[in-house]
Amino acid sequence: MLIGLFILFSVIALGGFLSGCSSEKKDTSGAEMITEESAQLWTCGMHPEVIVDEPGQCPKCGMNLVPVKNTSESSQPKTADTKPNGERKILYWQAPMNPTEIYDKPGKSAMGMDLIPVYEGDEQSSSGAISIDPVTVQNMGVRYGTVSRMDFHHEIRTVGKVDYNEDKLYEINTKMSGWIERLFVDYTGEMVNAGQPLMEIYSPELVTTQQEYLLALKTREMVRESRIASIREGGETLLESTRKRLLYWDVPKSELERLENTGEVKKTVLLRAQSTGMVIEKNAIEGGHIKEGMKLFQIADLREVWVHASIYDYEVPWIVEGQTAEMTLSYQPGKTYTGRVSYIYPFLREKARDVHVRLEFQNPDLELKPGMYVNVQLHGKVIPDALVIPIEAVIRSGKRNVVFVTREPGKFEPRDIQIGEEGGPNNRYVRVISGLLEGEQVVISAQFLLDSESRLQEAIQKMLKERQGGKKPSMEQDQMDGMNSSDDHQHQMGDMNATDEHNAHDTSASPSHDHGNSMKDPQLKMEGSDHKDHPDLSSGQSN
């Protein structure tokens, strides 16, 4: 009997102990669930700036709030690698006064201050660092690029127009009047060589001057033996003045020697080409009368041509005189002409905001015709060993330039950087002045989605800090904030009504006027209609 009672009490005690343990475990689980629920935040799918710590409806659009998935690095367990002796791994060194100034080894900053180390794990606590699961990263289509070094240059592609080389343009005219006796060049576009006859000109002045020259020769011979020096000098002076007149008319010296030797006056003078080229303008007609200074021919040497191209003002620093230029024609694919930059015009066209650049190209086969439009490519000056990243990696937001640096798969850190010129192959890169190290990986696609997620996490962390400090964001607070604008509007309307009421009482001259004004003013009309609640007002109106 005693043994049975002992066994019964033992079973009851053991059952109570197990029941207490189960209740304690249940309470603990409930506490954990409550803590987890209290840490859950809610947001609107259409207005992500609305973030509260309890479910409900959006104060802006009325949609049901959805839970926010916390992807902040501060909420993730840190798994920073440590060395065998327990030291943490140093990622890079940073200037204490400029977070974008980073180095891969210790030393001094640009301001002369000692650099401070940034350990793995510390950078995860930076504002906006996020962690995303691999499936989401794959769905977002995230691609990566590497911070690298290259000989950096800027490629300028523009359109040019072929023109004549002004240094090789020649004009054929005459310094005497007369008639064209014979014309040897018949049409525009004809090629001529240097010294080739162009025309014969008859000029009465030229014939008379030749006769005077022969007479001066005879006079000099006659007075050469004179004992009077002034007579001898007069003969020499007359001959020299006549000779200079013929030379000024472009009569060649060979023609003067012929005139001196033969004593025969020619009726016409032969006009020859000064240089090899193509006749691009012809105003001479056989038998026609010409005047002094009249332009008869214009000849251009097309073996070297100019190309006028335009570049934007921000591209001017990349161009220097003497650098190489390449040119292609749309109807000659695969063929490239190589020339050089001969001149950069020192002014800017204000309407087009561009600068003219003059290029020189050799044209031995005369394939380049003046007036042609061509494609020009200029390779700017080279910046050796420049640190660059793909241009699509940069998020430009006003004064800030941000990139997302990949620390490990699924973990991204937004970082402010300073950038310089754009260039590289096909102008797809941008030079990094500070903020990145060679070999780091940056995001080059879907970074705007990461930026949105980063900003969301910043807002979440800010709300968590406010809640820890005693401020609790809630739906009621957001609704109160949303109604502030409407309350202010109603307050302004009330002030306007009060002003109208005051003006109405001041300008009234009789009760009838008061009644009319009160009917026009909504506020006064409402007060007058509610006379049953105001005996004094009601009695006043009855009187």
pLDDT along the chain (543 residues), means of 10: 52 49 43 45 80 88 82 48 58 69 78 75 56 81 92 92 95 91 93 93 91 88 78 83 88 87 88 92 93 93 96 90 94 92 93 93 94 93 92 88 87 89 89 92 83 69 64 47 44 45 44 40 39 40 37
Q: How far is CA 238 from CA 214, 232, 254, 261, in A?
A: 11, 10, 20, 19
- What pLDDT sits at residue 521? 43
- What pLDDT sits at residue 159? 96
H helices present in 170-228, as ranges: 204-223
The overall pTM is greater than 0.85: no
Q: What is the rounded CA–CA span in Å between residue 138 and residue 193?
A: 72
* Digit-coded pLDDT (tens) for 126-177: 455 777 878 878 888 889 999 999 999 888 999 999 999 999 999 999 888 9
Q: What is the rounded CA–CA span in Å between residue 107 and residue 217?
A: 93
Closest CA to 192 of 269, 302, 282, 279: 279
Q: 155-165+301-381: what fold?
A: Elongation Factor Tu (Ef-tu); domain 3 (2.40.30)
Ordered by start, the domain boundaries in the chain are 155-165+301-381, 175-293, 502-543
Residue length of the chain? 543
What's the alpha-carbon Rg for the chain, to the nearest Å?
48
Structure tokens at 401: 């330039």
- What pLDDT sits at residue 503? 46
- What pLDDT sits at residue 468? 63
Structure tokens at 542: 């009855």
- What pLDDT sits at residue 463? 66
- What pLDDT sits at residue 53? 80
Place of tokens 């197990």: 18
What's 265's DSSP letter?
P
- What pLDDT sits at residue 66? 87
